Structure 1
Amino acid sequence: MRPSISSRVLNSSSLLLLGVADSLRRHPKRVTASLAALLLGTGVTAFGVAPLAPDAADLPVRQVVEVVQPLPTQVQTDALADFSFNLFRTESTRSSDTVNSLLKRLNLDDAAAAAFLRTDPNAQQILAGRPGKNVTVEASDSQQLLKLSMRWSTDNEELFNRLVVERTATGFSSRVETAPYTRSAQLASGSVQTSLFAATDEARIPDGVAVQIAEIFSGDIDFRRALRKGDRFNVVYETLEADGEALRTGRVLSTEFVNAGKTYEAMWFQPPGKDAAGIATAKGSYYTLDGQSLRRAYLSSPVEFSRISSGFAMRFHPVLQKWRAHLGTDYAAPTGTPARTVGDGVVTFAGVQNGFGNVVFIKHRNNHETVYAHLSKINVQAGQSVSQSQTIGLVGSTGWATGPHLHFEFRVNGAQQDPMTIAKQSDTVTLSKADLPLFRQIAAGAKSQLVAAASMNQARAE
């Protein structure tokens, strides 16, 4: 009997399944890949035939209209109409300034304020003296002056002056106040290409700091002849601020100078201790970071970082017109430059003397004597005690002088000696053992600050 159609289909299906099972056993990876492709194709086909959403054009549209009530604005309008604000502005005074021109640059239009500033004795200090003072004003939105303030430094290194002008119900008032500086430390560094001052200008370091660096290392480095291209320095110095405005440069706190490959370090240290009046019992000085004093009994120069125009040697005298020994040192400097004593002593003569013109003689210990000649002004008198670095007069050209300079002599037992040699051989000020623990603590902090300053220079170079 022939098999039925159903039997043949079942047999065929069984054979197909057996074949698939055999293929899956022999080629599992190939069969798996084929099934994946089949399913993916089926999925795509299913996606392709899926029914689409209704056309948006066939959807019903309904328009809704509602009435919106606006919020009241009159209160806000009135508040804006009554609103006022104050403006702040700062300008520096100029040599050509008048009260009106200064107020114009400050964007003020206030005739009453201008009249007051022209006549008030305190306010007249705004334009008096050197230009460059910073004037800060607070003004109304109608350009009326409400408050003016100005700060300036004085001879006192601890205090500054502040001028305040204010509008009151009855007009303007003024007052001059004194207030203490706020001290902050600044880190800086630089490298020498031509001169020390060019390097500090490039690093935006004040000239006063450059002078102090030269003074600190003057016993070890000849800044007039020994600088080399590539010499570098790091410095930490004080800035004295008045109400956030930097008014003057303070003391160099620590510094490092690399000259011809050799490193020199220094830091300021003030031994603790004060008397009943609050005055320090010991002088502050500069020391190396290992505790060696850099302060000597005599400074190397009576004029801060000035050019030597004639040294301790034979020379052709410009006035006498003949060769003769020059038993002193001439320092070229503008008229009015402060001349300072190189060491502690007592003034034995202050007046006019022959070719010296205005001259000061100072007696020091061990039969040492110094002479400061051709001064334009004398600030001391005979019998007065003076301390190292004290200003004793101003540079000039009195006596036998062809131009402004300071003639300086150092005498030992009445005989002239080379001042530079005497300064280098003079005794140093020692640090007591009791002060060493505090000194080492401060020195560690100074070293860290100098390392930070050096990294600034390296970062700038990169």
Structure 2
Amino acid sequence: MFNGLPQAAESFLNSAAALASRHPRRITALVSALLLGGTGATFAVANLAPDAADLPVHTIVENIASLPVSAQMEALEANTQRLYRSEVTRSTDTADNLLKRLGIFDAQAAAFLRADPLVQQTLLGRVGRNVTVEASERNALLNLSARWSPEDDGMFKRLTVQKTASGFVSRLETLPMAASSRMASGVIASSLFASTDEARVPDAIAIQLAEIFSGDIDFHRALRKGDRFSVVYETLEGDGEPLRAGRVLSAEFVNAGKTYQAMWFQEPATATEVTASTSATHSLTKGGYYTLAGQSLRRTYLTSPLEFSRVTSGFSMRFHPILKTWRAHTGVDYGASTGTPVRSVADGIVDFAGVQNGYGNVVMVKHNSSDTTLYAHLSRINVKRGDRISQGQNLGAVGSTGYATGPHLHFEFRINGVFRDPLTIARQSETVPVAASAKPVFDKAAAQVKAQLTAAAYMLPGNAQ
């Protein structure tokens, strides 16, 4: 017997030796073929092996002790599935219907939510709070957490309801939010808000877009189907969930074929602007939006006396119901619901605040020796003659006084008594460039912004990142 070889191998080698002694030439040819054939060797050798039925069979019996039932239950529990689901709270939420929407069917959990003071004060009946639950595979509540940001102070609240061995417990914490940036783009099909909704851009960011470009684009009148936007914006998160929209960091808007770009920039403070308690190296002045060439986007005149919002974005110029003619040749009519705030388009002094035939309640603001704006059909007036007004300051509210059968704002821009197009005047008004001392820093930032906007332009609607 060969040392180290099993019995089957020894038998195979003995058979092969006997065959070789009887047919030496055939075996020589076989070995040559095996050396040349490579992979065929396995099959050739295997054919010479003894039949499997001739091999000895050994039976081995071994006793295996089963695990205790408690250990088996623990093992099953460790591999139990966990179910997760999220919802946003509604004003009509009760403990039962909130849990039902979350897929939780747990009478003990519902009873706790109904009775717990923290849950009653901070969750049930509150609108827009993100709620996430962890449930067992039998839809029993294990953990519930809700997050919201009540103030614009960089903090958020987190309510936690957790199941313990003795029942449910609740806890309320105040924690810092983390800032991150996102980008998105869209194409105008019907309205700005419809497009930002499709791109999952928050309303607060859509409104900022309209305000940033308000010196160049009248978002109530001048939007066109096919206009495009790209935006990079800040979002504030709690536990990785977006809770509040931050500031627009950069944006691009293509309106009627013309491209407008904007970026947020804070100029470094000069030596005289740095107080004794701040560092000159890190101090910044109040920021603002600039074109990528360094021109401020804050113009002398705004294009619209109404802030852009979901309420005002869907209205268009009205046919005058009494005079039976378009009012566009003397001004612009903005449809809006009664009570919508009306703002001054520029700094100035109130020249008239009262009632005039046809105009109803009206305010006139004198901005300089030649320029005057008029705001008519107001439901109320919030200023008086002689008041000094700042750009964007509230003058009153939209109404239907005077010659009007429905609520709207009639707005006029006059230069030396001659009616002018407010949009044209706004675009021609002066802007201030970034300071020369800050231009190198600005140009470096602008190059980065340009790359960001290029990337944002390739974002498909619904894929804000």
The structural deviation recorded for 1:421 is 3.8
The alignment of Structure 1 onto Structure 2 pairs a total of residues equal to 410
Task: Classify 1:237/1:68 alpha carbon distance in 2 versus 1 (closer, same or farther; 3 Å).
Answer: same
Where do 1:144-159 residues align within 5 Å? 147-152=144-149, 154=151, 156=152, 158-159=153-154
Match of 2:29 among 20, 32, 43: 43
The residue number in structure 1 matching 2:13 is: none
Quick one: distance in 1 between partners of 2:425 and 2:333? 16
The residue number in structure 2 matching 1:246 is: 242
The structural deviation recorded for 1:202 is 4.7
The structural deviation recorded for 1:137 is 4.1
The structural deviation recorded for 1:331 is 0.9
**Contact kept in structure 1, 2:232 and 2:248, CA below 8 Å:** yes
The residue number in structure 2 matching 1:29 is: none
**Contact kept in structure 1, 2:217 and 2:303, CA below 8 Å:** no
**Contact kept in structure 2, 1:361 and 1:370, CA below 8 Å:** yes
The structural deviation recorded for 1:426 is 2.1
The structural deviation recorded for 1:41 is 11
Letter of the 1:407 partner, please give it.
Answer: H
Quick one: distance in 2 between partners of 1:142 and 1:194? 43
Quick one: distance in 1 between partners of 2:50 and 2:76? 57
Provide the identity percentage: 52
Moved more, 411-420 or 295-304: 411-420
1:391-443: per-residue Cα shift (whole Å, max 9, x none)? 55543435543222223344557776543343233221232112212211210
Match of 1:292 among 285, 295, 298: 295
1:109 paired with 2:95, answer: no
After TM superposition, the score normalised by the length of structure 1 is 0.67
Task: Classify 1:90/1:224 alpha carbon distance in 2 versus 1 (closer, same or farther; 3 Å).
Answer: closer
Aligned-residue CA RMSD (Å): 4.9
**Contact kept in structure 2, 1:118 and 1:124, CA below 8 Å:** no
1:186-214: per-residue Cα shift (whole Å, max 9, x none)? 22233456665555455444455444444
Task: Classify 1:368/1:119 alpha carbon distance in 2 versus 1 (closer, same or farther; 3 Å).
Answer: farther
Task: Classify 1:408/1:69 alpha carbon distance in 2 versus 1 (closer, same or farther; 3 Å).
Answer: same
Match of 1:70 among 62, 65, 70: 65
Secondary structure, in 3 states, of the residue corresponding to 1:246? strand
Larger radius of gyration: 1
1:136-157: per-residue Cα shift (whole Å, max 9, x none)? 3466888357654241555x3x
1:395 paired with 2:398, answer: yes
**Contact kept in structure 2, 1:255 and 1:265, CA below 8 Å:** yes
Secondary structure, in 3 states, of the residue corresponding to 1:309? coil
**Contact kept in structure 1, 2:216 and 2:303, CA below 8 Å:** no
The residue number in structure 2 matching 1:99 is: 95
Quick one: distance in 2 between partners of 1:360 and 1:243? 49
The residue number in structure 2 matching 1:236 is: 232
The structural deviation recorded for 1:252 is 2.7
Task: Classify 1:104/1:180 alpha carbon distance in 2 versus 1 (closer, same or farther; 3 Å).
Answer: same
Quick one: distance in 2 between partners of 1:377 and 1:282? 37
Task: Classify 1:370/1:322 alpha carbon distance in 2 versus 1 (closer, same or farther; 3 Å).
Answer: closer
Quick one: distance in 2 between partners of 1:370 and 1:420? 13
The structural deviation recorded for 1:326 is 6.7
Where do 1:211-290 residues align within 5 Å? 211-220=207-216, 231-259=227-255, 262-273=258-269, 282-290=285-293
Task: Classify 1:437/1:42 alpha carbon distance in 2 versus 1 (closer, same or farther; 3 Å).
Answer: same
The residue number in structure 1 matching 2:426 is: 423
Secondary structure, in 3 states, of the residue corresponding to 2:317? strand
1:318 paired with 2:321, answer: yes
Letter of the 1:401 partner, please give it.
Answer: A
Match of 1:186 among 178, 182, 186: 182
Match of 1:309 among 314, 317, 328: 317
Quick one: distance in 2 between partners of 1:414 and 1:230? 37
**Contact kept in structure 2, 1:99 and 1:118, CA below 8 Å:** no
The residue number in structure 2 matching 1:437 is: 440
**Contact kept in structure 2, 1:329 and 1:409, CA below 8 Å:** yes
Task: Classify 1:104/1:163 alpha carbon distance in 2 versus 1 (closer, same or farther; 3 Å).
Answer: same
Task: Classify 1:271/1:344 alpha carbon distance in 2 versus 1 (closer, same or farther; 3 Å).
Answer: farther
The structural deviation recorded for 1:289 is 1.0
The residue number in structure 2 matching 1:11 is: none
**Contact kept in structure 1, 2:232 and 2:250, CA below 8 Å:** yes
The residue number in structure 1 matching 2:410 is: 407
Gaps of 5+ in 1: 1-38, 311-315
Report which structure shows greater RCO (CA 8 Å, sep ≥6): 2
Moved more, 265-274 or 434-443: 265-274
1:146-183: per-residue Cα shift (whole Å, max 9, x none)? 654241555x3x446526265798986675x6655433
Letter of the 1:251 partner, please give it.
Answer: R
1:243-264: per-residue Cα shift (whole Å, max 9, x none)? 3222343333222344565443
After TM superposition, the score normalised by the length of structure 2 is 0.67
1:332 paired with 2:327, answer: no
Secondary structure, in 3 states, of the residue corresponding to 2:342? strand
Task: Classify 1:89/1:438 alpha carbon distance in 2 versus 1 (closer, same or farther; 3 Å).
Answer: same
The structural deviation recorded for 1:70 is 2.1
Task: Classify 1:431/1:110 alpha carbon distance in 2 versus 1 (closer, same or farther; 3 Å).
Answer: same
1:101-120: per-residue Cα shift (whole Å, max 9, x none)? 11233315245754654784
Task: Classify 1:179/1:194 alpha carbon distance in 2 versus 1 (closer, same or farther; 3 Å).
Answer: same
Quick one: distance in 2 between partners of 1:298 and 1:202? 31
Quick one: distance in 2 between partners of 1:405 and 1:229? 24
Secondary structure, in 3 states, of the residue corresponding to 1:448? helix
The residue number in structure 2 matching 1:18 is: none
Quick one: distance in 2 between partners of 1:193 and 1:324? 27
Quick one: distance in 1 between partners of 2:389 and 2:133? 44
The structural deviation recorded for 1:452 is 1.6
Quick one: distance in 2 between partners of 1:76 and 1:263? 69
Quick one: distance in 1 between partners of 2:109 and 2:388? 53
**Contact kept in structure 1, 2:196 and 2:206, CA below 8 Å:** yes
Quick one: distance in 1 between partners of 2:118 and 2:359? 43
**Contact kept in structure 2, 1:123 and 1:165, CA below 8 Å:** no
Secondary structure, in 3 states, of the residue corresponding to 2:452? helix
Match of 2:86 among 86, 90, 93: 90
